[in-house]
Each structure stands twice: as C-alpha cells, then as structure tokens.
Chains A and B, each alone.
Chain A
Amino acid sequence: MESRPSPDRPQPQSLSDLYISFTLLALQGFGGVLAIVQHELVEKKRWMTREEFVEEWAVAQIMPGPNVVNLSLMIGARYFGLPGALAALAGMLTLPLVIVLLLTFGYAQFADHPGLQGALRGMGAVAAGLITAAGLRLLSTLKTNPLGLPLGIAFAAACFIAIALLRWPLLYVLPSLGVVACVLTYRKLKP
C-alpha cells in the first residue's frame, strides 16, 4: 500500500493484531457485527474517523457479498494490503465458524427451551437498537458532507422512508437514490 495513514494515529500493529481484533469483534456480534465494528474501531480504538468509516461502508455496501465481511477486508487492506485483508477476513470467520459448527450438535436439544428462546428474542431486540445507534451516531458526518446538511438529511430521510416504511427493495432504492446523490455531490466538489 503506497500511503498508510499517518503514524501518529492509532492503528493495528501487525497481522496478528488485526486477526485478533477482528476475531474479538466477530465474537461480540450477536444479531449483526456491523454495530460492533463501528463502535470498537471508530469510537474506541480510533483506527478511523467516522467520515472514513462512512466512505468505506459505502463501498462495502454496494459490492456483492456480506457487507461486514467486505468492510473487514477493506479495513485490513488499508493497513497491510492483501495480507491484511486476509488476516481480517480470517479473524471474522474462523472462530465463529467453529462455534456455529459446535452449536449444530446441541441445537436439536435446546431449540425449544423457552428461556433460551426468550434470551435470543431479547438479544435480537438489543441488536436492532445497536444498529440504529450506529446509524444515529454517523449522522454527525452529514455536517461535513459536500452535499451540505439539508440535502444530506433529505437523502437520508428518503432512503429511510423507502426501505423502512414503504419496504421497497434495496436493489432499486440503492442505485436510484445513489445515482442522484453522487451526481449532485460530483457537481458540488471542486474539479
């Protein structure tokens, strides 16, 4: 990688640091890992700013494949190129894979346990809150977005209404709103 982030910023020290960090992120991710990644890497470890996170997330979201896996490999690649991407990817997948395989053995016996079902319900509700919080927190980046705050809020509101309230398919909403937003941004950026 030709340009690493400046050395005075916190960053992963080595490939094994990346692997372990992403393993720990994955293991905390009940009902979705993205909220954990945002919280730990941006708010706690400060490897990247909120603005940088949103930019990477835009790419991870638009590419095929699981978004949070895409995001992990992109973050890994930022620091250590291809080996970094593979280390982050391996961290995200290996230990959780072992855990789900072990869980399949016990699943049949415990699937109907009322306490366990209740616990999963409760964790699901919290996970929905965590992902909402990650979104609310990142709204602060709209202030520095070249679109300007009013337009930024308008696009965010339109997307929320289309996906959450009208339940239109992502496959139509993302490209159509996206093209308009990107063209407007393009025109606002200085050549």
Chain B
Amino acid sequence: MSGITLQWADWLQLFMQYLSLSLLSVGGAISTAPEMHRYLVDETRWLSEQQFTASIAIAQAAPGPNILFVALMGWHVGINTGSILMGLFGVMVTMVGIMLPSTTLTYLAAQWGHRNRNLRGVRAFKQGMGPIVIALLVATGWVLTSTHNDAARDWPLWLLTAVSAVVIWRTKLHLLWMLGAGALLGWFGLV
C-alpha cells in the first residue's frame, strides 16, 4: 500500500490518538491493539491489514519490549506517504504518543511512592499486591502455552516450556542457552 497523503492535521490527530491510548493501556499496550486496528486500518485506511499484522509479528519475534510494534505502525504509515524520512517521523509520532503519558504518570507515582514509602497505605499496596502480581507471571506463561491447544501435535512444545521453566527456576543457567536451544529444536522441526 502506498500513495496515501497525510496533512499536518492528520499527523496531529494520530499523535493525539496514541496519547489517549497510552492512558488506557493498563496491562500493556497490546491490550489496545484492537482499537489501533479500528483506527488505522478500518477508519483512516493509513495501514493495510498485512502491515498491521506484520508490525505486531515482527515486534514479537525481535528482541526487546513488544511495545515496539507501535513504532512499526508509525513507520508503515510514514512509508505509505512515500519516504523513509516520513517513516522515521511516523516512528517518532507514535512512540512519543504512546510513551509520554504513561511514563510520566509512572515516574511521578513511583517517586511519590518512594518518598512516602513508610506510610502504612503505601506499604500495604506494594506488599498486598505481591501475591497477585506474582501469580500473574505464572498465569502469563500458562496463557502463552495454551494458545497451542492440540495435545497430540503440541505436546513437545508444552514439554519444552515445562523443562525450561524448571531449569531456569532451579539452576543458574544463562537464559540465552535455553532460548538458543528452543530456536534450534524449532528450526529442525522437533517442537
């Protein structure tokens, strides 16, 4: 897809869109991906379906935080208007938009919490949330695994997940060894 035109007002609108999505992204920005799809693909048609899907797929396959899928969406919008330079501009617009409100808020909240760390309420919040946020990690692992839900076909994947969980939990092995082993097993079609 190419040959779309964005006026400055459109860029500003895109920026505002991501500013507001930032504040809604409790639990991670990926939870707002359906809204991004509605806006960028269905409503404005600045992105093609394939570009939207590729943005998420590449960011998840690449090292680094998955939030970079937002940068790739901005990149593709800019590229669609015709130049790599605008692609970089698009990255800036979407990334600053999605990061600025949430990071500012988190920074202020964390500083306030640190200054008042001896308050009973602050201690109660940080320690009371402990069991819940720890369980969330284990639940995330479970949810990721159960997207592969055909026992006859997927049992090697489940086994690999279970083995890596136990190995990393109980030993001091470097994480990259496990990731590398997973990549090799997958490359040769063993999982």
Contact = CB atoms under 8 A, between A and B. Distances in A.
A2 interface: yes
Given A30-B179, A58-B125, A125 B161 contact: yes
A67 to B, nearest CB: 6
B131 A73 contact: no
A39 B167 CA distance: 13
Contacts of B110: 56, 59, 73-74, 77
Interface in A30-69: 30-36, 39, 43, 54-69
Contacts of B126: 55, 58-59
A170 B65 CA distance: 20
A138 to B, nearest CB: 5
A159 B162 contact: no
Contact of B64 (A33, A126, A129): A33
B131 A153 contact: yes
Contact of A133 (B113, B132, B168, B182): B168
Interface string B161-191: 1111111110010011011011111111101
A185 B128 CA distance: 5
A137 B169 contact: yes
Interface stretch (B3-11, B37-45, B142-150): B142-150
A64 B61 contact: no
B103 to A, nearest CB: 6
B68 interface: yes
Say what secondary structure dominates the interface of chain B.
helix
Given A118-B187, A120-B61, A131-B137, A93 B131 contact: no
Interface in B38-64: 54, 57-64
A96 B95 CA distance: 13
Contact of B128 (A78, A95, A174, A178): A178
Contacts of B102: 63-66, 70
B139 A68 contact: no
Nearest to A135: B137
A174 B132 contact: yes
Contact of B124 (A66, A67, A189): A189
Interface of B: 22-29, 31, 54, 57-68, 71-72, 75-76, 91, 95, 98-99, 101-103, 105-107, 109-111, 113-115, 120-121, 123-146, 148, 157-158, 160-169, 172, 175-176, 178-179, 181-189, 191
Nearest 8 interchain pairs by C-beta = A122-B186, A96-B64, A65-B102, A129-B164, A132-B141, A135-B137, A185-B128, A126-B182
Given A135-B139, A153-B131, 17 more contacts: A29-B63, A63-B109, A64-B23, A65-B25, A65-B103, A69-B99, A70-B102, A92-B64, A93-B65, A119-B187, A125-B157, A126-B179, A128-B141, A134-B137, A142-B130, A185-B124, A185-B125
14 contacts: A28-B175, A29-B63, A65-B103, A74-B107, A122-B160, A122-B182, A123-B183, A130-B164, A131-B141, A131-B144, A138-B137, A152-B131, A155-B132, A160-B139
